[in-house]
Structure 1
Amino acid sequence: MPRQLGELEDSVMTRIWQWNRPVTVREVLEDLQQERSIAYTTVMTVMDNLHQKGWVRREVEGRAYRYTAVSTRAAYSAALMNEAWSQSDNPASALVAFFGMMSSDQRQALRDAIRVVQRDPEEDAPEVAREASPQGLPEGSPEQATEGGEDAEGADGADGAGR
């Protein structure tokens, strides 16, 4: 089960999820520097750690790596909620307390989500995806499979020659 991301890991992953394309350390660095002072090597280390932990995969492009998210933010959030709920000594009570903390919009999103997961799988799939999308629910499986295999190492693993 995934462990919650640290603050900087979350900032990096948020960009990777939002951009939804392969990104370099340099791109993430330049975006983070709009909010805070941060060193290239710090961002490079965080992205390497995210790779080692299985959050991102990377491919060599020239002397740089391009990083891509392994799963979605929705899958990450769902896994964290499932982990927290499964550790409760009284799961039903934990759910009641959690639902009590929700706003009316969140409760409506919950009702919509329950309707989606209770549908017969033989029903019209495009209709399910259309209903799920506006509520921010995952349109596919809550967890995406990771790709296997080892990544090639660049000459120095550095990003940014000429970037």
Structure 2
Amino acid sequence: MEVLWRTDHAMSVREVLADLTRDRDLAYTTVMTVLDRLSKKGRVTRELEGRAWFYRPAESRATLMAAEMLAALTGTPVQRREALREFAAGLADDDARVVLEVLTSKEAVS
């Protein structure tokens, strides 16, 4: 996903492989399998161009991270509040300001 997020165009398996093999040795079939599974899970979209599939992220990194954060808020309302308090307590000042801005603008809209 990191490789796909770093670019603004769809990438073939070979392009993704070339980027990944700068740091480690991977087989073409391994990258192809992972991209195919990500496609089936809806994490990436793909288009067939000629005989090659080209992949791009289905959503931005920020959207995926937000969805994962929301999914982590399971349990009872009390458990969710406790988790949110712990999360907020661990925020850096800049991040806390962003959260406060979003919540303030949300209240203004409601």
Q: Shorter-chain TM-score category? A: 0.7 to 0.9
Other-structure match for 1:113:
102
Any idea what the Cα deviations from partners look like across 1:39-68, whole Å, max 9, x if unmatched?
111101000010111111111111111112
Q: Which runs of 5+ in 1 are unaligned?
A: 1-12, 122-163
Paired with 1:118 and 1:64, the residues of 2 have a C-alpha distance of 48
Other-structure match for 1:28:
16
- Equivalent residues in 2 for 1:33-52, closer than 5 Å: 33-52=21-40
Shift in Å at residue 119 of structure 1? Answer: 4.2
Where is the strand percentage greater, Structure 1 or Structure 2?
2
Other-structure match for 1:58:
46
Higher mean displacement: 84-93 or 21-30: 84-93
- Equivalent residues in 2 for 1:1-163, closer than 5 Å: 13-87=1-75, 90-120=79-109
Percent identity between the two aligned chains? 37
- CA RMSD, aligned part only? 1.8
Q: Which runs of 5+ in 2 are unaligned?
A: none
TM (norm. structure 1) is 0.61
Any idea what the Cα deviations from partners look like across 1:108-162, whole Å, max 9, x if unmatched?
22122223434439xxxxxxxxxxxxxxxxxxxxxxxxxxxxxxxxxxxxxxxxx
Name the SS for the 2:22 alignment partner. coil
Paired with 2:59 and 2:15, the residues of 1 have a C-alpha distance of 20
TM (norm. structure 2) is 0.87
One-letter amino acid of the structure 1 residue matched with residue 50 of structure 2? G
Where is the helix percentage greater, Structure 1 or Structure 2?
2
Residues paired across the two proteins, number: 109
Shift in Å at residue 100 of structure 1? Answer: 0.8
Name the SS for the 1:60 alignment partner. strand
